[in-house]
Amino acid sequence: MSGMINKKNCAGFDLIAITLMLTAVGVLFSIAFLVIPNPESLKLQKTTARIKANKSALIGFAVAKGRVPGTSEVATLLPSQVDGHQRAFGYAYDERLAKAGLCATSAYLTAEGVSNVAMVIFSSGFDGTTTMSGGAQTSSVEYSTGTSDDMLEWVTLGDLRGRLNCER
């Protein structure tokens, strides 16, 4: 009997205990993965909230003053200067609407295929690129997002005129 192993003296885990332990660890990692937010997702959430707050501030200014803000005014107007990636927000506007007012002329900007846009605020995301075609002195400027993390918000001239009760 000297070659036989006494089970009472054996210590360690059996196969069922190891399986249960690995299953429990897997479940805990799955829960942690679902609960702990992705850093990129947090940046996109911050950018979304900030760009909407900035759009509201731009609309408030335009309705109060009867014109869109110029570039020099935006720096003090926007509640958030940077997006979730810590990049400065971009701002574009129809210069004629900053000078002549919202009820006097039409807009030449387009954003994501929407025409007659008075102003655009955008985040270029982590890669820092947003697409613009045309130019400030042309009859049409098109803004569109380049990558999935780019965000673009615009305000149409019709929306602003509706708030101001313009006669057009």
Specify whether the CB–CB gap between 143 and 107 falls below 8 A.
Answer: no
- Does some domain include residue 68? yes
| Residue with token string 């929407």 | 114
Compute the C-alpha angle 5/7/12, nearest 5°: 110
Predicted confidence at residue 134, as pLDDT, reads 47
Compute the C-alpha angle 110/102/122, nearest 5°: 40
- Does some domain include residue 27? no
**CB neighbour list of residue 63: distance below 8 Å, 6 or more residues apart:** 160, 163, 164
- Does some domain include residue 51? yes
- Does some domain include residue 90? yes
Amino acid sitting at position 80:
S
- Residue 82 to residue 69: CA distance in whole angstroms: 18
Amino acid sitting at position 65:
K
Supply the angle between the helices 39-65 and 157-164 in degrees, to the nearest 10: 50
- Does some domain include residue 159? yes
- Does some domain include residue 140? yes
Supply the range of the domain harboring residue 48: 39-164
- Does some domain include residue 26? no
- Residue 146 to residue 127: CA distance in whole angstroms: 9
- Does some domain include residue 2? no
Q: What parts of the chain have a pLDDT lower than 70?
A: 1-13, 128-148, 167-168
Name the 3-class secondary structure at 151.
strand
Predicted confidence at residue 25, as pLDDT, reads 93
Domain count, the chain: 1
